[in-house]
């Protein structure tokens, strides 16, 4: 008869042990849930911090791009001015400059505004670098305009 009761007795002890362990298991599960919640909170904070850092880096990158573009534009202007000056210096050879009128060219006026100079030759408004066939305007001063031809011969047109 004891043998027949043995499975029931085992089940009874298992239930008693299980019920006794229930509060322990419950507190363990609650502790694990708390740990998990803390870790999720820490991960969320870390993700938010990384997002903020990424936004700052993107803003810094945009600012650096703007500064670089400004520096490139400024350098390009400087290079253009240097080239213009070098071109002027190269083209003006005082030993080859003659005065007078060539091919019936007549200088009527010279105007300087805001760093730009213009001249009126044969009723045509020109500025430095423009051409009045077959001549190129090399330099415009207060009193004269320096022109060159295809052979790099320079001559002055005096203001009348």
> For 43-65, how does the pLDDT look when each residue is reduced to its tens digit (9 = 90+)?
989 999 999 999 999 999 999 99
Mean pLDDT score, 97-119:
76
Flag the least confident range among 4-18, 43-57, 116-130.
4-18
Instruction: Quote the mean pLDDT of the chain.
Output: 79
User: DSSP letters of 76-100?
Assistant: HHHHHHHHHHHHHHHH--GGG-EES
The hierarchical CATH code for the domain 94-158 is 2.30.30.830
Instruction: Find which of 22-36, 75-89, 105-119 is predicted with most confidence, using mean pLDDT.
Output: 105-119
Give the pLDDT score at 94.
Answer: 45
Residues 145 and 121 sit within 8 Å (Cβ to Cβ): yes
């Amino acid at each position: 008869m004891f043998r027949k009761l043995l499975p029931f007795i085992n089940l009874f002890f298992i239930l008693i042990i299980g019920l006794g362990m229930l509060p322990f298991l419950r507190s363990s599960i609650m502790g694990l849930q708390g740990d998990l919640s803390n870790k999720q909170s820490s991960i969320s904070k870390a993700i938010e911090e990384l997002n903020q850092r990424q936004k700052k880096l993107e803003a810094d990158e945009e600012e650096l791009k703007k500064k670089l573009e400004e520096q490139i534009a400024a350098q390009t202007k400087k290079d253009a001015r240097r080239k213009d000056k070098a071109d002027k210096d190269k083209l003006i050879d005082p030993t080859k400059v003659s005065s007078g009128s060539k091919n019936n060219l007549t200088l009527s006026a010279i105007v300087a505004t805001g760093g730009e100079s213009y001249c009126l030759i044969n009723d045509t408004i020109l500025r430095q670098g423009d051409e009045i066939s077959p001549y190129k305007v090399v330099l415009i001063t207060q009193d004269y305009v320096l022109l060159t031809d295809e052979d790099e011969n320079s001559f002055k047109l005096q203001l009348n």
